[in-house]
Every structure is written in C-alpha cells, then in structure tokens.
Amino acid sequence: MKKDDIIQMKIEDFSTEGLGIGHAEGMAVFVKDTVIGDEIRAKIIKTKKTYAYGRLMEVLQASPDRVEPVCPVARQCGGCQLQAMDYQAQLRFKQNKVRSNLMRIGGFGEELLDRIMGPVIGMEEPFHYRNKAQFPIGTDREGRLVAGFYAGRTHSIIDNHDCALGIKENRQILEMILEHMRSHGISAYDEASGKGLVRHVMIRSGFRTGQIMVCLILNGRKLPAQEELVRKLSGLPGVVGITLNINQDKTNVILGRETRLLWGQEYIEDYIGDVKYQISPLSFYQVNPVQTEKLYGTALEYAALQGNETVWDLYCGIGTISLFLAQKAGKVYGVEIVPEAIDDARRNASLNHFENTEFYVGKAEEVLPEKYEKEGITADVIVIDPPRKGCEEAVLDTMVRMAPDRIVYVSCDSATLARDLKYLCGHGYELKRVRATDMFPMSVHVETVALLTRKSQ
C-alpha cells in the first residue's frame, strides 16, 4: 500500500482520537469522519510500516448507526468525533471500550465483568451540555475576523459561533465581542508571528444559577474602548462578571497567570447536588454538570460512607469530589498539585460550612507517603481521580500499604484505569463494581468509576 492508493474497506472500530479503523491489504487504516459499520472508499494519505491513514472519499454503504450531524461544520471541526453516530450506538461503543480495556489490559474475565459492570450512564439530551467554551479568535485568508474551534489536529480556526455542545448565550456574547473588534480595528492574535491582541474568549456558565462569566484573553494588558464593551456585555442577561486574562507568552497555552476583574464579580457560582462551588476563570471544574452529579453520585455510593470514616481524595482539584464526600464522611483530606486549586477548595469548603475537610498542596505521590509514614494518618476510604496518565506507582504502593477498606477510582482513561486496577488487584484488592458515565457525548471520551475492596474482608 502506498500514498494516493484508493481502497475499499469496512470500519470496525475507533481509535482513541475518534478515527475509524478498518483493514486493507493486511494493514490497519485510520479514516476520519467514519462510523463503525460503514463500507467506505478512502484515499491513502500517509503510510507507516504496519498501518496507514486515509481520507474518506465516499460512503458506499452507511452503517445502520450513521445519522446526520446536528452541527453544519461537524466534519471540519475537531471538537466532536462522533456526531455522525447515533447516540445509543455511542453509548454501546463506550461501554465496550471500557470493558475491552479491562479485559485486555487489566486481565479481568468476561464472567466477572458480566457480574459487576453496570450499564453506561448516558444523557437524555446529549447536546448543549458544556458549561465552558473557549473560542480562539483569528482571521481567515481574506483577513476577516473569525472565532470558533480548531480543526482536528491543527490550529486552523473553523468559524462557528453556535456550538451544538455549548449554551445558547455563547453566540450573542461572541458576536458582540467580534463586532466591537471590527468597530475599533482591534487585531486578533496570530500564533505564527506572536502579534495581535485578542487570543481567546472564554465563557463559563452556571447551569443551576444561570450566572455567566466572560473572560477576554489578551496578548496585552488593555483592550481599546474597553469600557464600552464592558458596558454592553454587562447588560446581557445572566452576565455577572467580566474578566481580562493576560497572556503575552508565545505559546499555545490558552490562559496566562494574571487575571484582572473588569466588572462584577471574579467568579460564578454553581451547584453539584447540594454543594455550592465558586468557579473562577482559572478553576478546573467539570464541563458537564448534569453528568458530573451522576458521576460523583456513583463515587459516593461506592464509598458507602457511614459518617465516621477518614477519606483521602487524591488529585482533588478545587475540591469537587472532596466536598461531595464530606457530606457523609467523618474527615476528608484532599491533595492537589495546583496551589490556586487548593485555595478554591478551601474557599468552597468554607462556603458550604464544611469543617471536616483539610487540603494539601503537592504531588499525591509525595504528600500521601509523607502523611502516612511521618504523621501516621491512615484512611478508611481513598478516592482517586488522576489525570489521563493514571497513578504513579508510588501512589498505588502507598495506598496498598495504608490498606483502606475501599478504594474508589474515578478515571478519564479506561486504559490507564485497567493498568492501575491490575496492580491493585495484584496487591490485596478485589474489583467489586465498575460503571461508566458519558461525560462527553459526541466525543470518544468516557469516565469510569471502579470500586475495590480489601480481599481480607
């Protein structure tokens, strides 16, 4: 097989990036914009030793799971990978993805998974679920201002002011900012040259409170006619705060370290269950509040707290899971490497009048051994929600030595989850329950909660 060859094949699976996978001439071929079950014709655009990439030329026979995407630019935009796939089929794919990784990487048997794995938790309305949108601002080939989302694997902006995953208010806010830029000759940032002023517009919203925050991310310290724009934005329904984030580094990192308040308040408030959170521009907060409540509810159910337990929450962020657990626990310790997130966690604990929480700044693999070995702090339950790479072995080892009755593992990557569960189950623990939650409809990503108990119980 070589570049520019035309092949015909059936799509059998998805890659982790959402590319359809088929086989031709003994090689795996990855093709964007396909659905499992499609019979396609594709043009080879790149070849490697054992696999190749193709461009979809024609769908010869559509999969029974293929649907018309809601978004008119779904194929160009890199934000969604599965919009052309029926939502129930998406849920089946995600359930199978988690199950397959647990079997292939974790070594767990089919019979066990049949018994302990619950059905994936989906959404009744799998669109307009995101409470946060980050729109890059740029120019097209004619020099006109554009805003939207990056095309897959590129930093080319697909002009789209009304994302099907975001809130309806995004469009009016974004278009008001673009009109202000046009009226006052304000430039968009150019990544290649490092010049231009407006880099991104970030909009955060509270689904329960209806509060909206607008954050302008600039390659500078002030926007021309800034007061005029602030006056217009502050008059929109729901807007409670307007901030300016300064990022003058030549980088593709979106947010800089300094944020200034232009009007209103520096945060929005929202709820997960009965717990209230303050969310600032730099705060990490789950983007799907409807599913977050279900995800954390599953974690709380698995923790089976009776009211007197000592609980550790590792990789705790702004304390979202910690405070959920604090409703039922005796004492909750949270660990997070980002100092600003710990500040938010402490503030959120105070906001909800929780006096049974304590938060530490540092790496989980350093803080946990130190508190256990030097201070003798143990745990009845440990809850972990690590980044995509999973847990450091030092964390897993310390958890095993602390010997909590239960470990609740919340994962955004079922491959590293399976790897870590294999380690824990080889060191005295038993996998008791597993359930996936669809936090990101229209994408290939899925969150999973697993419960482990000590075998001696």
Active site residues: 412
Cβ neighbours of residue 29 closer than 8 Å, sequence gap 6 or more = 7, 9, 21, 22, 23, 42, 44, 51, 52, 53, 54
Tell me the torsion sign for CA atoms 28, 32, 36, 39. negative
Residues in a beta bridge with 241: 213, 264
The secondary structure of 391-432 as a DSSP string is --HHHHHHHHHH--SEEEEEES-HHHHHHHHHHHHTTTEEEE
Copy the structure tokens of residue 91.
Answer: 């849920």
H-type helices in 275-425, by residue range? 289-303, 320-326, 339-351, 364-373, 393-402, 414-425
For 360-380, b where at least 16 C-beta lie within 10 A, e where not — what string?
A: bbeebbbbbbebbeeeebebb
Whole-angstrom Cα distance, residue 6 to residue 295?
Answer: 44
Structure tokens, 150 = 């990056």
* Helix axis angle, 226-234 to 169-183, nearest 10°: 160
Q: How many CB atoms lie within 10 A of CB 153?
A: 9
CA distance 34 to 22: 10
- The DSSP output letter for 331 is E
* 3-state DSSP percent of the chain in helix, strand and coil, to 5: 25, 30, 45
- At 274 the three-state DSSP class reads coil
Longest dimension (CA), the chain: 71
The amino acid present at 412, given as its one-letter code, is C
Q: Are 344 and 350 a contacting pair, CB within 8 Å?
A: no
- SS3 state of residue 276: strand
